[in-house]
Amino acid sequence: MRVLLDCGWGKLMCFEVAARHCCKRELRNGFTRRWIRVGALAFVASYYAAPAHPASLDDQLFNPIPASNWSGLYAGFNAGAGWAEAEHDPMPVKGIEFYQSGSVIGGTLGYNWLLGNVVVGLESDLDFARVEGETVLECASICFSSFQALATLRPRIGITWGIFLPYITFGVASALLHAGQPAYDARDWEPGWTFGGGVEAHFAPHWSLKIEYLHSKVNDIFYNGPVNSGIQLVDVNQHDLNLIRFGVNYFFDWNPIIK
């Protein structure tokens, strides 16, 4: 049965059994959408904030910036939004999928090498996350699952294009998962893989702004929880995590070879 729920900022139509979680979920989703809008506006603004644009459109698009601007050691900050799906499967039965959403925030450390106009790099990052969801369907009480952290180590390959560096990336990932039911849960780091791509742009000497998408998959997590009238092993199938992140990097010009 659906009920009309007043969340203070607006009214939502929710299932009665999950009404007390409805406002919290909608507030989290609204926060995620705001992250994406603010980050996109900031990235566009970086183009107009960049000093000394070349005079012509052709120069803006095709003249590479000096190699030293992209080479060497860099560190930065990133934040963004994520979404995924999960299901709690009482083995060997398949469970009900439910939606997860939320935000991530963390730091980045990397190093770039220049091969002509090609940029080859290695990047690592660690993000604290709150990408979570829950369901009351086919659960003894509430089934929940969340990403609490994500670490990656990834090569990056890109080509300089004016002030821009479009790139692709792929590598290994590890996520801190927390899943279960009240009084029955598990928390552990699970290994996996990730790939994606993005665009980075210089907006000041030593500084760049980036937007990127990452698609990650990690192993399942298990817990013992109530199923029907007993306690049973439950496989939490954590479906692929999708991230849109915005970041700011500082380049140290540490590479002694590029002058």
What are the tokens at 174?
């590890």
Look up tokens 């904030």; give the residue: 49
Domains of the chain: 2-251 (2.40.160.20)
pTM above 0.85, yes or no: no
**Residues 71-83: tens digit of each pLDDT:** 999 999 999 999 9
Residue-wise pLDDT tens digits, 175-191: 999 999 999 999 999 99
Which residue would you say has higher pLDDT here, 25 or 102?
Answer: 102
For the chain, the farthest-separated pair of C-alpha atoms sits apart, in whole angstroms, at 74
189: exposed, middle or buried (Cβ count in 10 Å: 0-12, 13-18, 19+): middle
State how far the Cα of 241 lies from the Cα of 85, in Å rounded to an integer. Answer: 8
Higher pLDDT, 146 or 162: 146
> pLDDT per residue over 188-232, tens digit each?
999 999 999 999 999 888 999 999 999 999 999 999 998 877 888
